[in-house]
Structures are given as C-alpha cells and as structure tokens.
Chain A
Amino acid sequence: MTRSDAALKLRGGAEYGIDLEAPGMVHAVLVPAPVAAGALRSVDLAAARRAPGVVAAIGPADLAALLPHGGDPDRPVFPSTRILYRNQPVAAVAAETLAEARAAARLVRVDVEATPPLVDIEDRYPDWPTGLASDAPGVVAHVHARHGNLDAAFASAEFVHREVYRTSGIEHVALEPHACLAEVRDGHWRVRTTTQTPFGAREDAAEILGIPAESLEVEGTWVGGGFGSKGAAFLEPYALVLAAASGRPVRLAFGYRDEFFQGRSTLPAVIRLETSVRDGTITGRRVRLLLDTGSSLPGRDFATGYAIGFLLGPYRIPAFEVEGYAIQTNKPPFGPHRAPFAPQCVFAIDSHTDGLARRLGVDPVEFRLRHVWQAGDRTAFGQEVGPFGAIAGLERARTTVAEWRRTLPPGTGIGVGVGFWSTSTGAGGEVRLRLTPAELVIEQAEHEIGSGSIVRGLVAVAERLFGLPTERLRVVTTSTARDPYDSGVFGSRTVAALGRAIEAAGTAMLARLAERAKAKGTATLTVQDGKLAVGIGARSIPLSELLSAEELRDGLVVEGRHYGRSGAIDPSRVVEGSFYAYTDFTAAVHVAAVTVDRETGSVKVLRYAAFQDVGTTIDAGMFRGQVEGGVVMGLGSALTEETLWDPDGRMRNPGLLDYRIPTIAEVPEIEAVAIEGFPGAGPFGMKGLGEPPIIPVPAAVANAVADATGARVLELPLTPERVARALMVD
C-alpha cells in the first residue's frame, strides 16, 4: 500500500486543527454551564470584558447584534432560557493569549436557577412507557412499525425468549481534539477546521448563524481521527461569532477533557426483546427500545428508527412489532459514533439469537444459517435483500470455530457475532477530474481523516479505472469555495460514493477523448515517453495532440457525480416515524475466542477472526487497517469503555484514566478475511468498510463469554465486575 501522506505525517508536517495560525490571532475559551438543568437567569460578562487581554466577551444577549438574521431560534449559539446539560457553552471569551482567555472566562458570572436534571432514562421510565404520546415532554422521537400476525405467532409459540439488554454511552476518542480558526471580513465568513464534512459543517454552521451558506467558506485540515465526532458544525459557530465580535482571527481548540464534557456520541439505551419460536424457527419478535438521546432536540433524532433496523435483521422474521422512544436527558446531545448505535443493537440481538439457539440445543452458527438473509429475501420492512455475504461468512466462521475448538485449550469460550450495514451512498458526491499531459488530478471536497479513504482509496479506484500508475494520480482538496460538493466522510460512503463519481467523470472524459481522436472504440489512458497518452485499440495518441492550448495549461476538466439510491421500504408496515432503506447489504461475521477468570470476571480475548463482506477489495492494506481498527475499537466497547454520570449530570470519567480504551496489551491476533463476490454500491461492486468491522465485536465477545461460562451478560461493557455478577447469579 502506498500512503502518500505517510512521510508527511511521520515528519510532523501535516497541519491539524490545533496547528492553525493567522496574523493577529486571538484565543477563545467557552464558558460552561455550571449545572446540568435549570433556568438561565443572567450571564454577566462585565468583569470578563475588563480583564487583561480580552478582545471580546459575548453571551446570549449579544447574538442579535452580531448575527444579521439572529440565527436559528431552535439552535441558538448560546441558550437564553434553559440549560440543557452541564458544561453547555453559555458564553465565550476571546483574548490575546489562551491564559488570559481562561482567566477572563472564570470571571463570567452565570446565574442559573437549577432544577433536578434527568440523567438516567430509567429514572423517568422504569417500566416500558405505555400509551406515551409522541409529543409527551422529553420524548424527542417515537417510532413504531409492525408486520404480520404477531399475536398468533406468540400464541402458537413453543416458547417466547424474553430479555432486557442495556448498553452504555461511549466516546469517540479521536487522537486529535476539535479545533478551528475563524475569520469574518467584509461579510465573508471563513473558518478553517478539522472536519469530516466541509460542506456539512458549512450548511450546519450557516443555519445556526442564520447566514446564507454561500457567505460561509469552510476549509478543512488534516483530520486526526473522526469516528463521527467531526461531522456537523461544533466549535465553528462559536469561533465565528467571536471573530465577528472581535474583528480578529479567532482560534478555538478543545482540550481532551472538553471532548468528554461535550460528548455528542452514543448514549445509554434499554432494549427489550421478545422472540417466539416454533419448530426450531423464529416466528415473531417484539422489540422495544428506549434510547437516551441527551439534549437532542425534537426532530433531530436520527438514531431511533435507524437503530431499530438492526434489531430486526439480518434474520428472517415473519411477524414483528417494534416501538422505540428517544428520551431527552440532561447530557450532551446524542451524536454519531462509528456505525451509530449498531454495535450496541447487534450486541443485544445477536446475544439474544445466540441464547435462543443454546436454549433450543442448536449450534448457534447453524441456527443463524437457518435464518440469515440471502439475496431475494425481504427485510422486516419489506425491502428486497441484494447480494449479501452473510452465509459465506458464517460458513467460514463455522470452520474457524471447529478449528479453534481443536487447537485452543479446554475452557476457552468461542463466540460468533453477525452484523450488517449498508454503504451510505444515498448522500451525494461530486468530483472534478483535471487531466494534463503530466497527471490526472482528482479534485474533491473531503480531507483525509486517517482511514486512507482519500489519499489511498480514491487513488486506488482511479488506478483500476484508468490503468494509470499511482504517481500519475493526485487528489486535491481546497475549500468549499472551490471544491465540488460532497456530503461528507461518514456512513462508510467515501470511497464508494466518490469512487462512483470518479467513474462517472472518467467515463465521460474517456468518451470525449475518443470523440476528439475520431476513433471508434474505448479510450484508455497510458503513459508514453514520460507523458500521458490516450490509447485506442492499438493506437496511442499523445494527449498534447487532443487538448487545446488552454487545456494544456489548465487541464481538461470533466465533472462527475453520484447520487445513489436506496431501495424502498413498505410504507404499510410503518405506524409512525422514520425508518431507513438500504443501498446495499454488507455482512460482518466475527469469531472471538476468550478465557474468563470465573472468580474475578476478567475476560481475555485470545484470538479473533473477522470475515468481512467487501464486494471487491480495492486495496489490501486499507482492508486490513480498517478491519483491525474496527475490531480494536469494538473490543473497547465490548469490554471496558463506558461513560459514567453522577445523578447531578456531571461526567465521572472525563479522561483516559477511567475511560478505558484498549491498549495493545489487550489486542489479540486478528485474522482479517475478505469475503468477495457479493457486489455492493461502490465502483467494481465494492462495499464501504469504515464501519462494518466494529459492528459485531461486542456480540462476538459476549457470545464467547457465554460459551465459556454459561452465563449471559446483559449489559455493555462486559467489565470484570459485570461478568462476575452474571456468574454469581447463575
């Protein structure tokens, strides 16, 4: 694998958010709300404004004068009435030095009439809320769907397997904290920032600020890890209003503790599952989901309907009813975390499925093979399943399980987890190809976030499309002012969606060159005498003969776009709320081998195998990187990572000492195997790989623990204490 950014990063030359500087730059600090809930009475900035070095100190009352249209009333930059979570920014200060800004921020007096916060959703809803109206206080979203005759399925069942699973909040822990540098000059708003979505951040920030998107320019930097944390606007609106207030370039950068305090990640949930079985076959399922959505606002919940899909697949279920509520709590808003909420749902559903098989006395892999989707099946929502590698993955897993049973010591627990995903190409992407006799340049909007999808993935697609060597291909990103539109690096879509846009542009470009050469047949690009040439059949024509003088200077420019399409769900199955259709069907079948210390509850993962349905492998090195990274991150969610909250809404573990990501000492040997031949939404039938490898990890580990001990742990993460407690109950 050739990573064009490797040398730059190793030498420390890559510019990240925190490295941004500008002449005359000042430093910003946000003023946090002192309590998690309450009525905001006043924000007194007088002392802060008089403090040394301060160039601007602004609060809720200053927004109207700074924002021409007052900003988004639903999402004000600073709250003016109600505090929604502890540390919610209520004001901001900019000063000549960071120390001065911090000192001044401490002088801001925030007067709040505190009210008891809601921190744990089960405090409000200890039982399943029946007949709760969708617009009841604190309900941010309600989704409800059903199909088939569930009552009959339950009535005729041999048994109904009932369980309640609980999952914890987790954080992204990207190496690089958020940081940006904002400037406002002559009505031109500009922010340089570490973002997964330059255009998404622009649209979101412009909406919050109430300015036209065209008057805001977002320029990305290298991104030191995203995992969903750097999607929508976050720090940018604060820095921009401070820049407007001060007339100076403003740097706003989070420390690591701020990353925890401001969250915007996965939050806890309660998942109730009831599955009916007859003749060894699943006949029906009732699912109920209570999702803590933090201080998300109504209409801004994206997770509930989406999550429920994971609780109904990837298995055939003839009759079902699902109902989910997103409940507002006094925590930072819920936000996307690598495969948002899918690992948690799959932990619940695939633990449940594994337990069902064991209860029936059927091998868990065989039981899954009996039920798992294959092409032509229908999802719970009636969508036809496309090419899907789950059966192929399960067959590989069966072989692995058998081999490990023979070779690993007695007492080892072996578990399988099955996850699925869909490449999110539905969101649009565009590229601009620029061809000169020297090289082919791919101009597009996204910055490399670490996975390699931009610096390597797009190049690998272009290599394969055009047959050009790596050194003749270059990916260029500037800012939203010049780059073609793209919707962002998320949903495992980047290489698939932008790759299809490259394919569209490339096809058009080659057709145009063939036309200019007045040739019949397909044009290709080749290198001849050190320059690019067009090959048609046996002929090879130097590019210089086919380009105009202007094109020889600026390049032949051809744009391409890809706005993918999802399949359709059957609307008759939806009672209320939004559910999602898929663009393709990506399977992830994982196998974990563990030992469990029955006295302390400690779990050690000995071996791990991941069978990933990729359609086509675009780059073997990137494949391995994404699978290993996803598995390691998933092991953290499975075993040690959770956010802890005090009843007053204070986060108890805002740092890496007590928020425990895996160290290399906990990482086992990981076997990463590509399952090919089940094409997906990307070029050459590739499927997105950023998220699928994290999805089945907690399930595979939990099923291995159950295999080793006979005890089922119903809550993530499987800390030694939880495992020990489950073993005591048994």
Chain B
Amino acid sequence: MTFSLARPSTIVEALRLLADDTEGPTAPLAGGTDLLLDLDDGRSTARRLVSLDKLPWKTLAWDGPRLNVGATLPLARLGSDATVRARLPGLSEGVDAVGSLALRHRATLGGNLGRAAPASDLLPILLAVDATVRLVGTAGRRELPVARFLRGSRQVDLAKDELIESVSIPEARLSTYVWQRVRPANDVSQVGVAVARSGSSASWRLALGGVLPVPTRIPEAEVHLTEERPRPEDVELAANAAATHARFVTDKRASEAYRRRLVATLVRRAVARAQIPPGER
C-alpha cells in the first residue's frame, strides 16, 4: 500500500486537490478506518489521499430542534455527548455499535456516510430520523435527505469535487438502534434495525441495515406504526412486513432465513425499546 497524502487547510484547496487526478486516483480521507483496509486489500485503487483533518468540521451544535454534526467529528465525541443521548438516543446507540472505542476515536459520521457500507450501524438511524446531508463542492452547496444520498451498495450521490460538510439530524427522543452479531463486541452487524418517531411525522420510521445492498427504510412496515404507542398487533404486523418486504441475502455472516427471522425479532424489540426513556434502557 503506497499513497501520497495531502492535508489542505481550506475547503477550496481540498476540492481542488480532489478534482485533480494527475497523481493517480484520488480519494478523501477522514478517519480512514474503512478506506485504509480497502487500500491494503487492493479494493481501492486510490494513490493520493486528501486528508480532511485540517478542515473546520469537527463540530457538534444544536440549531433549535436539529443537531448539526460536522463531517469529521470523531464518533467517540458524538457518542459521549449527554445531550445527544437524551434528545437523539438512537443516534448515540448507533455510534456505540460502531467498531471499538479505539476505532471510534478515528472514525467519523461523514466517513460512514461517504463509504455507505451495507452493514453500517449509523445509516439505519440516520434514515429513520430523516437526516439530511450537506454537501459542498466546486459548484456550490446542496442539501439532500440521506435516503436520496445513498444510491446503492457503497454508492452515494457525491461528485468527484464534492465533500460531505455536515449532517443535519432532527431531534427524535423516541428513537433507538438495535442489532445482532455473531460476537457482540467489535463485529459487523448481521442485521441492524432503527426506529424513530419525530414530532411532526405521522408514523414511526423504520430502517434496516445489514440487509443488502444498502440500508433502507421499509414503508410497508411503517404504515402499521402510526400510534405513538403502537398496539402489539400492529407491532406484529410491522415486524412481519419488514421481514417480508426487505431484500435478504445469504453471505458469510448469516443466511437469508436467519436474517429474515432476526428482522422480525429486532423490529419488535426496537419499537418497545424506543418507548423507554434513554436513561432507563
């Protein structure tokens, strides 16, 4: 693995470097916890990395009912924020599920979004709370829902000369993220389920991860979850709908049949858990 490393101090310089492939394929580098593995395995052909560590994006701020998370804020800082845990418990739980604490000191929310891994532990909750991603590029700034930003397995709507600047996340005190793994700690989730209900929405939103090709909301399940405290029979309908309508694959981490069964179980658990105050979970 050989690459050159650029560390621009301004956004303009970073975008200019990203657009310039004369030194070989170029890629942005945030925490590097995913990209460096790909480089080591030859899955990434990048020869120049543009580090974002000097950009002013390690930020965390509330703007009324929305949380703005800078793209390069280490996940460990997001996970240890008490206000986030109270107002967006599902996000904190997603962060807790990413790798190990040591890894979370490197990994970032922007990197997790940009890399768009099928088994990401953060994308399901970002989908369930209807977060938006703010992009900056040579052509200017734009903002779009995470659901539209994700295009497919490891594919996102991001131009070559464009970067994730921040993520805007609406408060959702009723939210949670639950997962299943072969090994509880430091493993890739076989299935992850996020549910959330925010003030304005007519129903709960529900999103699945670990179910290829990309984390996805399941509207067929959400329609059963209109009540703030859904009745057990509605939860059952939602669980079965999620298990029916999601696409499942068999891979080295789990069989299709097991994933299907897990989805139903985890939907039931997620809806129940989301109604428990964060401090009592």
B226 an interface residue at 8 Å Cβ cutoff?
Answer: no
Q: Are B252 and A658 in contact (CB under 8 A)?
A: yes
B203 an interface residue at 8 Å Cβ cutoff?
Answer: no
Given A658-B252, A721-B255, is A666 in contact with B265 using a C-beta cutoff of 8 Å? no
Q: Which of A658, A660, A663, A721 meets B258, CB within 8 Å?
A: A721
Given A99-B2, A658-B252, is A666 in contact with B183 using a C-beta cutoff of 8 Å? yes
Closest to B2 in A: A99
Q: Are A640 and B183 in contact (CB under 8 A)?
A: yes
A602 an interface residue at 8 Å Cβ cutoff?
Answer: yes
Q: Are A599 and B265 in contact (CB under 8 A)?
A: yes
Closest to A636 in B: B183
Q: Are B252 and A663 in contact (CB under 8 A)?
A: no
**Which stretch in B24-32, B169-177, B184-192 binds the other chain?**
B184-192
Q: Which of A644, A660, A721, A724 meets B187, CB within 8 Å?
A: A660
Given A600-B180, A600-B265, A720-B180, is A666 in contact with B255 using a C-beta cutoff of 8 Å? no
Main secondary structure of the interface of A (DSSP, over half): loop
Q: Are A653 and B265 in contact (CB under 8 A)?
A: no
B84 an interface residue at 8 Å Cβ cutoff?
Answer: no
CB contacts (< 8 Å) of A721 on chain B: these are 182, 190, 254-255, 258
B262 an interface residue at 8 Å Cβ cutoff?
Answer: yes
Q: Are A658 and B253 in contact (CB under 8 A)?
A: yes
Q: Are A666 and B185 in contact (CB under 8 A)?
A: yes
Q: Are A666 and B188 in contact (CB under 8 A)?
A: no
Interface size on B, residues (CB 8 A): 20
Q: In the complex the two chains form, what is the Cα distance from A665 to B97 in whole Å?
A: 13
Closest to B264 in A: A599
CB contacts (< 8 Å) of B16 on chain A: these are none
Main secondary structure of the interface of B (DSSP, over half): loop
Given A644-B252, A658-B252, is A724 in contact with B183 using a C-beta cutoff of 8 Å? no
B154 an interface residue at 8 Å Cβ cutoff?
Answer: no
Given A653-B252, A657-B188, A658-B252, is A663 in contact with B2 using a C-beta cutoff of 8 Å? no
A662 an interface residue at 8 Å Cβ cutoff?
Answer: yes
Interface core residue of B2, B100, B258 (most chain A CB under 10 Å): B258
* Shortest Cβ gap from B43 to chain A (Å): 13
Closest to B269 in A: A599
Q: In the complex the two chains form, what is the Cα distance from A639 to B183 in whole Å?
A: 8
Q: In the complex the two chains form, what is the Cα distance from A602 to B265 in whole Å?
A: 13
Given A644-B252, A721-B254, is A660 in contact with B265 using a C-beta cutoff of 8 Å? no
B148 an interface residue at 8 Å Cβ cutoff?
Answer: no
B261 an interface residue at 8 Å Cβ cutoff?
Answer: yes
Given A99-B2, A658-B253, is A724 in contact with B182 using a C-beta cutoff of 8 Å? no
CB contacts (< 8 Å) of B252 on chain A: these are 644, 652-653, 658
Interface residues of B in 212-259 (CB under 8 A from A): 252-255, 258
Given A599-B265, A600-B265, is A663 in contact with B255 using a C-beta cutoff of 8 Å? no
Interface core residue of A604, A658, A660, A721 (most chain B CB under 10 Å): A721
A422 an interface residue at 8 Å Cβ cutoff?
Answer: no
CB contacts (< 8 Å) of B181 on chain A: these are 720
* Shortest Cβ gap from A730 to chain B (Å): 15
Q: Are A663 and B183 in contact (CB under 8 A)?
A: yes
CB contacts (< 8 Å) of B255 on chain A: these are 721
Given A644-B252, A721-B258, A724-B258, is A602 in contact with B180 using a C-beta cutoff of 8 Å? yes
* Shortest Cβ gap from B242 to chain A (Å): 15
Closest to B37 in A: A657
Closest to B187 in A: A660
CB contacts (< 8 Å) of B258 on chain A: these are 721, 724-725
Q: Which of A602, A657, A725 meets B184, CB within 8 Å?
A: A602
Nearest 10 CB-CB pairings of A with B: A665-B185, A663-B185, A599-B265, A660-B183, A721-B258, A640-B183, A652-B252, A600-B180, A719-B182, A663-B186
Residues of B within 8 A of A (CB): 2, 100, 180-188, 190, 252-255, 258, 261-262, 265
30 pairs, CB–CB < 8 Å, chain A vs chain B: A99-B2, A599-B261, A600-B262, A600-B265, A602-B180, A602-B184, A604-B184, A640-B182, A644-B252, A653-B252, A657-B187, A658-B252, A658-B253, A660-B183, A660-B187, A662-B183, A663-B100, A663-B183, A663-B186, A665-B184, A666-B183, A666-B184, A666-B185, A720-B181, A720-B182, A721-B182, A721-B254, A721-B255, A724-B258, A724-B261
